[in-house]
Structure 1
Amino acid sequence: MFSDDHFLPLLLINILGIAGIIVWHVQGRSRQTGRLIVQILFFTGMSLVLYMGGIAPHKPDDVYTEGFAALLSKSARMLWWTHLAWTIVGFIHIYVRLNHKPREAHLIMDIAVAIIYLGVALSVMGFVFGMPIATLVTTSGVVAVILGLALQNTLGDVFSGIALTLGKAYAIGDWVELSNGTAGRVTETNWRSTNLLTGANNIAVLPNSMLARQGLTSLSRPDETHQITLSVRFVARQRPRFVEDVMRSVLQASTLIVKDPPPAVALKTIDAIAIEVELQFRVATLAMGISARNELIELIHDQCGANRLSLAMPAESLVYVATATSGESSTPSAESRSSRAL
């Protein structure tokens, strides 16, 4: 039996397959390119031996059906299919690395790797051990339906994560804000959830299905700049044009806001009490918003003192008292002002 032409090729395939596994582990995870080269070399050598020996890995062995030779034949075919899977997975890893794919692309890569290993496992059971693949697929389909019903919420998170990844709604490092008010920087995405680092330095773990259902605003796209508005009320004894010029000088004096595009001063409303002005400006990153706002408030205070501008009371703090004569419009009384907000 051992004099058969297939025995030596099968022995050589086993030696190459085991040696390839040892060298593959010695390379380590940090040397992806070296691992891929090893996988290609050993897989190519095993394929050449199979071809020269006339052995078909996709067909059960009809020559050796029992004893040590049969075990050697099955192990050789299993090693070949295993190295095939590793070679394909290695190419996928190198493709992701060379194309500088973001970390969230690993979710799609994990799905591809799982499909490859599943296909190889079915091939081994069908081609090496002669099991009926159709029956296995049917049985696995029934099991998948049962698991799907039992894991509806988890599967919903998984498929929502896939949809968000393919749609590129956000990337690692983006600042996002949800419709429910939750905001933070995306630090990690995985199969089930997305992690946000909030402004309070807490990690918010959000299920992917919740993200898919809610409206999401990316605060980091198309760039990192973020627009902020600051409303100020001035007593209406000054001309609006003068107030606008003073506020424009405040924006020009700021060192923490972005000057391109230039900031703007909008005169929103005017009444008998106050002129309401809105300062519109951008900051380089969302994290600089508080510092920039504090600086502008300090500058506004200084300019008010230098230009004799008086800040008006908030509109909600004014109480209007009706006059004694019916039909006359109500007028504000300075003596009747009270701060309800406080």
Structure 2
Amino acid sequence: MLLHQRLREGQREYLLLALHDPLPQGCKPVDAGRGWTLERRLRQLAQDESNLRTLSTLVQAHGPLGRHATRTPEDVVKQAATLLSFGHLRLVLAPPPERYGAPAFPEEVPKQEPPVTPEEDVTLRLQVVDDASDGPISGIKLRILFADKTEKEVTTDADGNVNLEKVPRGSFDVLSLIDGATLSNSVAMVRTGGPWSGQKPSKAGTKSKATSERVLVKVTEHRVIDGETMDSVAEMYDLTADDVAQFNWETTDPAEVQQRLEISVGCTMKDEGGKFVFSRDDDPGILYVPRPVALSGLAVDQSHILRVKRARRPQPFSFSV
């Protein structure tokens, strides 16, 4: 588990907890702010190499980029800020170690910023389209966090659009909701930008029809090792074993899951109860894990295009003739 990671700032020490983790004794929650206030604070902490490694590890497990993607310190700060803003992680102040012989420095009081006032003429426009065909993707469920700390859950319409009127000015963050995700109904981020789908004809000369309901996810390939189980792998990503089974094989039936572990993951070893267990020798030995896509710092006064493709699917083995 990547919980209880520590960040240090002088004599102060912070813990990063998951949303439902109990508050350790002696610790107190920290209001780290939102938006630029939060990013500025994390940027200061990330100047310490040890803190930057800690944040990078958390972003690797929970962020929208791939396991081997290259991240700049600025990328790490922005993704960590998004995870904290949406409540996936909490920052708490640990009690001062006794060896210091003095209380920790008082908590920094964030500067008061003027309230963000909504203006009637500000409209948030966002569209999700297929990167290859420019066809709109309907049914994508998203959570939007505004600069004034309010949130709204939205779903893309038949034209792949989200249009919200009279929203707060400034930037906003987006998090995809992945309930019900499977490999067959999932799409993955490719890039942002490009022309609005309604303004660009398809290759056939007519606008593509919207697809059926999809789920926007980041798909993580997890290579199983000795001693892991479905439960332990799921727990590593804050999911349940049923979540992982449903995403990979669209079933949670125990007998069917066992069959898929043998056929799709290549399990050969069983425990005393006759259930398959993981080994580093399993071939291909891969489980696919869904993670939400998080985008931060999008400007309200600009239109945003999210370009996606079908999520990666396991490929059948092929043999040369």
- Please tell me the TM-score bracket, short chain as reference: under 0.3
In our comparison, the structure showing a higher alpha carbon Rg is 1
- Higher RCO structure (Cα 8 Å, ≥6 apart): 2
Q: Normalized against structure 2, the TM-score is what?
A: 0.20
Q: Which has the higher strand share?
A: 2
- Which structure dedicates a bigger proportion of its chain to helix? 1
